[in-house]
Structure 1
Amino acid sequence: MSGNPQPRRLTEGYIRTLGYLDRPYTVRDTAVTGLLVQINQKSKSYKVQRDLYVGERGRRRFVKTFRRTLGTTDEMTLDEARTRAQELIAQVRRGEDPNARPEDVTRNPDAWTVRRMYDEYASDMRARDCREETIAGILWRRDHHLKPWLDTPITEIKRSMARERHKELTKSSGKRSANMVFKDFRAAFNLAIKVADDPDAIGDNPVKAVTFNKERASNRVIMPDDLPHWWQRVQDIPNPIRRDMHALGLLSGLRPGTLVSLRREWVNLKERAIVIPRMKSGRSFALPLSAYMVELVQRVITAGDVLYAGTPWLFPTRANASREVIATQVWKEKTLPSETGHILRHTYRTVAQRAGIDRIEARLMLDHAVPGIDGVYIHEKALFDRLLETQETMTKHLLALCVPENAERGCEKAAA
């Protein structure tokens, strides 16, 4: 290849076919002008590039070429990259430089507006290598829920204002959304206090006055007596891929966002593991697979080959608009209201306790940090053989609860 390929409408399938060379090259997207995918020696990344002009029409002058890396193709889908690129391009068209630092006049945190405070918090999160999706979610909640405050100096946000807005959001958007907005605000405000030369000029965090809502759903589990009915309803789901997706969700305890984004290249059935390069914790994680889970994953791959030939995803589906094959985005089921997703993670941990699983092993199985000095000296990779045995025990207990009349025959029936 002597140069870059011609611009074209990018698809997930086409991007997967792009091979690695001894030099980087790019392919531009014609669907969103300015979006491109760059193929490096070992990775593929989405980038956005547009020329920035300022001034009135007819008197516009070129300022610079704006560039930003959005993320790797493993971290975000093509649809997500297009959405983020369009947001940045809209700023460029308005004559704004998304990479520009705010004016020096507001360098001191006590002069920050709410908008600036969040921008600084986002920069701090990027410096800490936080996930771009997490940052985008925080900024979206800021713009959507705190719009009247954006240009207000943070020193003018009073405790009474925080309490009142939290109550308003609880009524209009729900308990969890209200809590998330003000947990974001609290963290951003704490950063302002931390980096200020004179913290007293900012004052206390106004979120101290907020009484957070109880989020009962986060502590819910599927009770043991309800698991047989749950399992039967899962087996009745017509789509075999979604059926096994929920079963693996229960048997693994994976976070739902991680579950639906699993890639085939991470699966190593010979070693009985799914090696996920980056979890919420920022670490890689090797999910141990019991013998039953290995059969389930093999079954899902076979179904995927038939329904979505060539897909890189373990649980693929089709995008509603473009009909491209993408990773499953939704883990809710109409026939299982409030009984899929994170509740399965809580159920897994509860059954682990019921089965007498060692507390440290239970934390390692869920990619939870091990507290105290144990977290310094215990290395899960060295314990993987032991964790495989623990996963076998967990699968045995879970299937015995799901198919109590005959756990052995229940496994065979579910695998059929």
Structure 2
Amino acid sequence: MESSTSAASPCLTSVSDHSPSNNDVIKVGTRKSQLACIQTQHAIDALQKVCDKKFEMVYKDTQGDKQLTSALFKIPSKNLFTKELEDCLINNEIDFIVHSLKDLPTTLPDNMAIAAVMKRACPYDAVVMHPTNVDKTLASLSEGSVIGTSSLRRIAQLSRKYPHLKFESIRGNLNTRFRKLDEDDKYAAIILAAAGLERMKWNDRISHILKEDECLYAVSQGAIAVECRMDDEKIKELLAPIHDTDTALQCVAERAFLRTLEGGCSVPIGTSCHIKDGKLSITGAIFSLDGQECVIETCEKLLPCDSEPPSKKLSVADSHHFVHIMPGHISPCLLEAAMDLGVELANILLEKDNGREILATAKQTIEEQRTKDTD
């Protein structure tokens, strides 16, 4: 999850928080960070290719943007980066919100739905080295080198593979994290989502992409989601053309996997999902906080060929069934197959070896640390 209190880029279409309502303009909610605005503009650009509407951004700071002193897993809220924007949506102050899908909990507020999931960018994590370490890898860094990341998922997996490294929390928007890396000389490297770096045009700072054998990625990482009111048929129709089928199926499977585990984004759970030759394949893993214990499994399913179009009306219950992702132009039977696969994988991991115990211990330890910090 990318955090920021930085101002939005001045080159982007904008509107203040208190602009008067204009029925001819579609208002789009976004966080203020440069990356969030770039992602929102990406969605607007895609929509402008298929409609002649006008769009304006409405910027909001979220709790996650303001609360930068604690590691993310120590903050109990599940909607750190979404609540303030969703409040605006509930109050009809905006028409839809553009999110990083990995920031969206698997349970949304009543009458909210994900009306579009755009084509996924690179879902993997990336290593960004300190300038003095550009010729090194994580494996070749010296004993005790400090790696900056606030993700327990990353820490658990990389501690398991590179036990000679130390991991410490690093918060702030991407610009802030780069400054801390380059100027403070505390971190030998930092770990960030590759998609964010690519969208910011900072590909040249990527030293190494972490593939599945090093670090399974976060649920829905790399995907952009558009959230709207369930009963707003015009907006749902507007958003349907930018819905990407393969990405939506992958994210339904991944979110169903996470929801079944009741893990939340702070627990060390990793995944990887692919569609090839008509088959949907998903790998998932549960890790102990120190990475020493792990259960991992892969499930796959042949996707149905049913191309029956979805009903124009979808109930709130049906949307919840698909972890809040609307079919759009996608056949519901495909979403059903993806959801079932994610649930199947989660149940296998819970019953495999000591998977349930690993997950329970991780949750308990996180809760104890949160309680300790608030005492």
- Give the TM-score band, short-chain normalised: under 0.3
- Looking at secondary structure, tell me which structure has more strand per residue: 2
Higher RCO structure, 1 or 2 (CA under 8 Å, sep 6+): 2
TM-score (norm 1): 0.25
- Looking at secondary structure, tell me which structure has more helix per residue: 1
TM-score (norm 2): 0.27
If you compute each CA radius of gyration, which structure gives the higher value, 1 or 2?
1
